Amino acid sequence: MSSLRVSAPLLDAYLSYFESKRQPFTIPGHKQRAARLDAGLGLVVDSDTPLYGGLDEIKLSNQVLKKAEALAATLWG
């Protein structure tokens, strides 16, 4: 894992989500199907991934947001 991914938990979760090739079962409109209508639209819209049930588990058990907020608090004080 790159040092950037280690120091950026939300980025790591985002990239891991797309690397895993999971089938989303989340908010309507977040099913990564916009590319079927238009390839350019799909590049933008299909990358809109929710935190809950997307970047982290529904109960935030991976603590992605907590880790990111802790790093931000350290940076900004």
pLDDT (tens digit per residue) in 4-30: 888 899 999 988 888 887 766 666 555
Is 0.85 topped by the overall pTM?
Answer: no
Range of the domain at 35: 3-76
- To the nearest whole percent, how much of the chain has pLDDT over 90? 30
Provide the domain count of the chain: 1
**Alpha-helical segments (H) within 1-77:** 3-7, 9-20, 39-45, 64-76
Identify whether the C-beta of residue 37 lies closer than 8 Å to the C-beta of residue 44.
Answer: no
